[in-house]
């Protein structure tokens, strides 16, 4: 017999996956519209009113394309690569709290798939698996451009994960927990972590750009040098999986930034005007998605503003600038906590 909690969790999983896919789909539309606005163009305007059906048209086009698997490729790994990239992109959302929770029929339902007490570690573990999808796909293609793109992606992700992890360590020192929900709860009111960890936030968001392979860190798919990067040999839905995974990663990264540094679902001062906990929770979820959409727009804004780094500049920034800054941030955080008496 399924309990009501289990049924709610299953509904939440389906909802989160569906929303992730829909947002990823319409992020492609938003990206093209933002690019058009910044370049004084119209953008997609043929499929449906204001081009709103363009993502569906693109999806159908990808589905209808011929599925080509190169004869010299490693067939099973070639198929596995996009699947790994897509799965890991979707798995990260499991530990994110999407709202405070709903009380239905006297029972409380948390708006989070699972609240593990090592949520941050889980996120880092899943994100680090994501690079295997790109590496496997690039290597299995048996194409020198694909392999170079995959090598760039793996070295870039490993380099920037270190700085990202060190930025998070300073946050964990301050909050004293690895649970994502507890970190969100501690930011109730206007006590957002970005005010206490501004340097950590800057390091984290730069690393998030690198982890998502977004401009100015899109060296793995650098079309001016590597044809199409790690997905040069891919077509049809496998190519769609790689492109989708990038946009889902962008959505999840925006959700993580919003939750860890910008209070998540906490709305400052709204408790004075609204007393019903369910309405408060729903408003908090809407507020969280507002922050997420702002950061998705920020990702797109940067793409059409800043040119791509050279590869040596990318590595220098990661190893010589961000990692020392992140280590300094840990020391500064520890010193401030000691001076304010938070640690003895």
**The pTM is what?**
0.90
pLDDT at 226: 63
- Whether pLDDT at 1 is above 50: no
What would the mean pLDDT of 153-174 be, rounded to a whole number? 90
Predicted confidence (pLDDT) per residue in 97-151, tens digit: 998 888 887 788 888 888 888 889 999 889 888 888 888 888 888 888 888 888 8
Given pLDDT bands bounded at 50, 70 and 90, which one contains residue 224? low
Torsion of CA 71, 77, 78, 82, to 10 degrees: 170
Portion of the chain with pLDDT greater than 90, in percent: 25
Over the stretch 119-130, which tens digit does the pLDDT of each residue have? Answer: 899 998 898 888
Domains in the chain: boundaries: 68-97+114-339
Q: What is the pLDDT of residues 266-288, one digit of tens each?
A: 888 776 777 788 888 888 899 99
Give the pLDDT of residue 256: 94
pLDDT reading at 219 higher than 80? no
Whether the per-residue pLDDT at 180 is higher than 60: the answer is: yes
């Amino acid at each position: 017999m399924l309990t009501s909690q289990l049924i709610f969790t299953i509904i939440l999983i389906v909802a989160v996956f569906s929303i992730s896919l829909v947002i990823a789909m319409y992020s492609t539309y938003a990206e093209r519209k933002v690019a058009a606005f910044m370049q004084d163009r119209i953008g997609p305007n043929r499929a449906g009113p204001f081009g709103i059906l363009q993502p569906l048209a693109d999806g159908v086009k990808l589905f209808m394309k011929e599925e080509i698997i190169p004869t010299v490729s490693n067939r099973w790994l070639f198929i596995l690569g996009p699947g790994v990239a897509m799965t890991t992109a979707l798995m990260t959302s499991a530990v994110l709290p999407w709202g405070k929770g709903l009380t239905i029929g006297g029972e409380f339902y948390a708006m989070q798939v699972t609240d593990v007490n090592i949520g941050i570690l889980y996120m880092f573990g899943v994100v680090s698996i994501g690079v295997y999808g790109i590496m496997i796909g690039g290597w299995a293609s048996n194409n020198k451009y694909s392999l170079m793109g995959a090598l760039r992606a793996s070295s870039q992700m490993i380099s920037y994960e270190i700085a990202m992890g060190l930025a998070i360590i300073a946050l964990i020192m301050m909050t004293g927990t690895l649970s994502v929900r507890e970190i969100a709860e501690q930011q109730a009111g206007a006590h957002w972590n970005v005010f206490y960890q501004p340097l950590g936030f800057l390091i984290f968001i730069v690393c998030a750009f690198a982890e998502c392979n977004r401009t100015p860190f899109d060296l793995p798919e650098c079309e001016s040098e590597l044809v199409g990067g790690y997905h040069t040999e891919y077509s049809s839905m496998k190519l769609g999986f790689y492109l989708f995974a990038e946009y889902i990663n962008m959505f999840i990264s925006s959700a993580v930034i919003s939750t860890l540094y910008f209070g998540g679902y906490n709305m400052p001062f709204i408790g004075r005007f609204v007393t019903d906990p369910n309405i408060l929770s729903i408003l908090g979820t809407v507020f969280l998605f507002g922050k997420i959409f702002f950061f998705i727009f920020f990702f797109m804004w940067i793409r059409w503003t800043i040119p791509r780094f050279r590869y040596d500049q990318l590595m220098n920034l990661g190893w010589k600038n961000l990692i020392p800054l992140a280590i300094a941030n840990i020391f500064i955080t520890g010193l401030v906590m000691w001076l304010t008496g938070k640690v003895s």
